[in-house]
Amino acid sequence: MRARSIRDKCIVAAVAVFVNLGFPAGAETTGLERQFSELADPAYAGWQSAESDIRRAWSRSGSAAMDLLLKRGEEAMDAGDLPAAIEHLTALTDHAPEFPEGWNARATAYYMAGELGPAMADIAQVLRLEPRHWGALSGLGMIFADMGDKARALSAFRASFALNPHQQDVKDSITRLEKELAGITL
């Protein structure tokens, strides 16, 4: 059973490399300025559509094979198989290093596995490629909070919230951290 699993993963990786040759593997986020602007407006009624458009674009690498690796990694995370998720997502970041969502998904898997250093390194790659990635900034805030660095956590959450002010969990984290940093016990 184990040999078949390894063989299947090798086949997926080989297909991914073959299909990806000659194709761009960066996120298809050009032309989304309007959606980012709408999303950043706290009063904009259509923010959910803007957010959905951005997330959909972030999930498309430009290569069906790379998109499949992302899907496999996400499915493994959902199933709680973090080593498999990290393996699929490492193949993705190796073959599509300009695809921010590959780095973001792997950062999530590393975070879930308790590997904060690698998660932070991957978030740095996400933000280098897509500085408007509110999810990566929120993840960075969670890591800093876990490390006890409340000031940096607050800064990361605020940056995330500025890009997408419709995140209740981020808003709650900001409120909690502001109170904690002011010396108010919750």
In a domain, 174, yes or no: yes
Query: What's the distance, CA 68 to chain centroid?
Result: 16
pTM: 0.82
Per the structure block, which two tokens stand in for 53? 């458009």
Query: Considering its fold, how many domains does the chain have in total?
Result: 1
Given this model, what pLDDT does residue 6 score? 44
Which ranges of the chain does DSSP label H, i.e. alpha helix? 2-20, 33-40, 47-58, 64-78, 82-95, 100-112, 116-129, 134-146, 150-163, 168-181
Given this model, what pLDDT does residue 130 score? 97
What is the residue-level pLDDT of the chain in tens, covering all 186 positions?
444 444 444 333 333 333 333 333 344 566 899 999 999 999 999 999 999 999 999 999 999 999 999 999 999 999 999 999 999 999 999 999 999 999 999 999 999 999 999 999 999 999 999 999 999 999 999 999 999 999 999 999 999 999 999 999 999 999 999 999 999 765
In a domain, 57, yes or no: no
186: Cβ contacts below 8 Å, ≥ 6 apart? 176, 179, 180
In a domain, 38, yes or no: no
Given this model, what pLDDT does residue 184 score? 76
In a domain, 173, yes or no: yes
> Are 69 and 20 spatial neighbours (Cβ–Cβ below 8 Å)?
no
Given this model, what pLDDT does residue 163 score? 98
Domain enclosing residue 166, as ranges: 132-186
Query: What's the distance, CA 61 to chain centroid?
Result: 13
